[in-house]
């Protein structure tokens, strides 16, 4: 999953980002409200963690802008304001949940997981391909019922490939999903992860085909 954090407190944003990255998510960080609507509507993250008090453009203005542009990604508001009117205003503009600062990071992650599950097309969706099953709710990959214990980056790679099955996905798209947009990661890193994942999925009745110069395609073996 890709998560966007729009928060002007950089140490706080870094802490939140690290927590999500440890769970295998790609993370984008924005530290001002300027240009946030355009970025979010173009990148379409799976979840947006949005601070209300931002320089140049408030979180509520950003929320109003992305909803007006048809972006329906779930939004978790962060606010230092305790007044109920501010919370109600955010929910009325299309926020899905909110936390008042200071907050516990474990609660933030729990609320984020709930919103990500709610935002999926199918709750508890299981995608089957060959002898491989991808359980989005349990965040598991299974081969003939046996759970694969994948490192977080390899799980994130498997997730984007499976969700894009039978379609070519580029190395840049994979990098964005694993690390966040604009991350300076060499394409060779993607090739290494693909090599490792191929070995782990051996015997699953699936394959990761290389489309030379274009990217990769995940599909069932014919």
Mean pLDDT for 84-103 is 85
Q: Is 159 exposed, middle or buried (0-12, 13-18, 19+ CB in 10 A)?
A: buried
Q: Quote the pLDDT of residue 119.
A: 61
Judgement on whether residues 23 and 60 belong to the same structural domain of the protein: yes
Rounded to an integer, what distance in angstroms lies between the CA atom of residue 59 and that of residue 62?
Answer: 5
- What contacts 156, CB < 8 A, 6 or more positions away? 1, 24, 25, 26, 177, 178
Domain boundary residue, one of 119, 150, 171: 119
Judgement on whether residues 162 and 188 belong to the same structural domain of the protein: yes
Q: How many domains does the chain have?
A: 2
Domain boundary residue, one of 68, 103, 119: 119
Judgement on whether residues 20 and 83 belong to the same structural domain of the protein: yes
* This prediction's pTM: 0.64
Q: Quote the pLDDT of residue 64.
A: 94
70 vs 3, more confident: 3
Q: Quote the pLDDT of residue 122.
A: 46
Q: Quote the pLDDT of residue 83.
A: 65
Mean pLDDT for 11-22 is 94
- Containing structural domain, residue 160: 126-220
Chain centroid to CA 60: how far? 22
Task: Give the DSSP letter of residue 108.
Answer: H
Q: Quote the pLDDT of residue 173.
A: 86
State the pLDDT confidence band at 181, using cuts at 50, 70 and 90: low
Mean pLDDT for 68-85 is 83
């Amino acid at each position: 999953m890709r998560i966007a954090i729009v928060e002007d407190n950089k140490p706080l944003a870094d802490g939140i980002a690290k927590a999500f990255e440890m769970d295998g998510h790609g993370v984008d960080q924005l530290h001002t409200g300027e240009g946030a609507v355009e970025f979010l509507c173009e990148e379409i993250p799976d979840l947006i963690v949005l601070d209300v008090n931002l320089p140049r453009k408030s979180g509520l203005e950003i929320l109003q802008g992305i909803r007006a542009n048809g972006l329906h990604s779930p939004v978790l508001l962060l606010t230092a304001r305790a007044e109920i009117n501010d919370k109600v205003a955010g929910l009325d503009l299309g926020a899905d949940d909110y936390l008042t600062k200071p907050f516990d990071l474990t609660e933030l992650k729990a609320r984020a997981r709930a919103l990500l599950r709610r935002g999926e097309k199918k709750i508890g969706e299981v995608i089957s391909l060959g002898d491989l099953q991808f359980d989005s709710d349990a965040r598991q990959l299974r081969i003939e019922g046996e759970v694969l214990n994948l490192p977080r980056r390899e799980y994130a790679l498997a997730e984007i490939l499976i969700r894009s099955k039978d379609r070519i996905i580029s190395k840049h798209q994979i990098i964005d999903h694993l690390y966040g947009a604009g991350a300076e990661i060499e394409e060779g890193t993607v090739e290494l992860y693909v090599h490792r994942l191929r070995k782990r999925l051996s015997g699953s009745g699936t394959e990761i085909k290389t489309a030379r110069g274009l990217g990769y395609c995940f599909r069932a073996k014919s």
